[in-house]
């Protein structure tokens, strides 16, 4: 069962593991253990994806959604414990066991974000950003920090954690946008999932925007919503794309300002900024909130 889950997860192209590997190399690391550490990071991501899918009751084609809940969640717990145990072995030699403390802290933050997200309540923009900062941002920070610590960089861990959290926010906002643009199984609008994208659509002053609001308030059926002519075209022309892109660019600017404070040379700073500009998450963020 564990092998089946891991094989399914491998289809995501393992972006969090690559965050770990790339940060290790960007910061001058040459450890032969980097891919082992990256694999541990991906096991943590897989564990959170399994938990999130069960809580949201979506993504039914995933193998962990087709198994008995008790079995799936037992495997999820095993993945998490295995990854943490192995990471402690690879990174635990750092002074005062700082590495393991940071790992546990980021996992704990993501759990808090997951708990807040389960409520699925409409939030103000800054409140929603705060939730995904914990939920998705903490996991991106975990990946980058693991690569940095394996490279021996313990000076800039706080700053790396900050800008890596921004990477997670950008990736989540991008996934939220993708999950409203096309009507299908994972569409957040259909599943009445509150994100900044769906909140934007539900507050749109147009006739269709009012219909979306009625759907979220259970005053309009899904069939009637989907029967609206050119619904998908309206979503794409509603302004939600521009709105989300502006938020993403604002987060990237914040991340780059933090990168400027790193104690590495300017060449490395430029490389990291270029990396932040080019990052694009097509895979699910745990909890793809």
Could you read off the pLDDT of 84-116 as tens digits, one per residue?
989 888 886 655 467 778 888 989 988 888 788
For residues 65-94, average pLDDT? 84
Q: Using the predicted structure, report yes or no on whether residue 37 has a pLDDT greater than 80.
A: yes
For residues 186-193, average pLDDT? 90
Q: Using the predicted structure, report yes or no on whether residue 7 has a pLDDT greater than 50.
A: yes
Q: Using the predicted structure, report yes or no on whether residue 53 has a pLDDT greater than 90.
A: no
Q: Using the predicted structure, report yes or no on whether residue 70 has a pLDDT greater than 80.
A: no
Percent of the chain with pLDDT over 70: 92
The answer to whether 142 touches 111, Cβ cutoff 8 Å, is no
pLDDT at residue 267 in the model: 93
Q: Using the predicted structure, report yes or no on whether residue 234 has a pLDDT greater than 50.
A: yes
pLDDT at residue 280 in the model: 62
- Closest C-alpha among 149, 117, 157 to residue 134: 117
Mean pLDDT of the chain: 88
pLDDT at residue 141 in the model: 94
pLDDT at residue 289 in the model: 37
Q: Which CATH class is domain 2-278?
A: mainly alpha
Query: Which residues lie below 8 Å from residue 275, measured CB to CB, with a gap of 6+?
Result: 22, 26
For residues 203-216, average pLDDT? 96
For residues 194-223, average pLDDT? 96
Q: Using the predicted structure, report yes or no on whether residue 67 has a pLDDT greater than 80.
A: no
pLDDT at residue 228 in the model: 94
Residue 223, both tokens: 């069939």
pLDDT at residue 189 in the model: 93
Could you read off the pLDDT of 119-175 as tens digits, one per residue?
788 889 999 999 999 989 999 999 999 999 999 888 899 999 999 999 999 999 999
Could you read off the pLDDT of 247-282 as tens digits, one per residue?
999 999 999 999 999 999 999 999 999 888 876 654
């Amino acid at each position: 069962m564990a092998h089946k889950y891991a094989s399914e997860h491998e289809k995501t192209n393992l972006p969090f593991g690559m965050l770990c590997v790339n940060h290790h190399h960007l910061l001058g690391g040459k450890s032969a253990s980097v891919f082992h550490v990256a694999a541990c990071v991906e096991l943590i991501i897989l564990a959170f994806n399994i938990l999130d899918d069960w809580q949201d009751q979506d993504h039914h084609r995933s193998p962990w959604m087709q198994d008995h809940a008790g079995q799936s969640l037992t495997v999820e717990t095993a993945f998490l414990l295995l990854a943490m145990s192995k990471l402690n072995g690879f990174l635990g030699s750092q002074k005062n066991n700082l590495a393991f403390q940071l790992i546990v802290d980021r996992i704990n933050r993501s759990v808090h974000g997951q708990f807040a997200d389960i409520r699925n309540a409409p939030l103000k923009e800054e409140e929603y950003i705060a939730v995904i900062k914990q939920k998705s941002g903490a996991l991106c920070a975990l990946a980058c920090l693991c690569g940095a610590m394996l490279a021996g960089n313990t000076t800039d861990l706080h700053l790396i954690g900050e800008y890596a959290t921004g990477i997670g926010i950008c990736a989540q906002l991008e996934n939220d946008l993708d999950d409203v643009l096309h009507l299908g199984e994972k569409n957040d609008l259909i599943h009445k999932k509150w994100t900044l994208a769906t909140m934007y659509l539900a507050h749109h002053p147009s006739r269709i925007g009012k219909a979306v609001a009625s759907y979220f308030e259970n005053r309009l059926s899904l069939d009637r919503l989907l029967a609206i002519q050119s619904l998908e075209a309206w979503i794409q022309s509603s302004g939600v794309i521009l709105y989300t892109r502006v938020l993403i660019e604002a987060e990237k600017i914040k991340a780059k300002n933090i990168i400027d404070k790193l104690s590495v040379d300017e060449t490395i700073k430029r490389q990291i900024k270029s990396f932040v500009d080019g990052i694009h998450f097509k895979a699910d963020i745990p909890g793809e909130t």
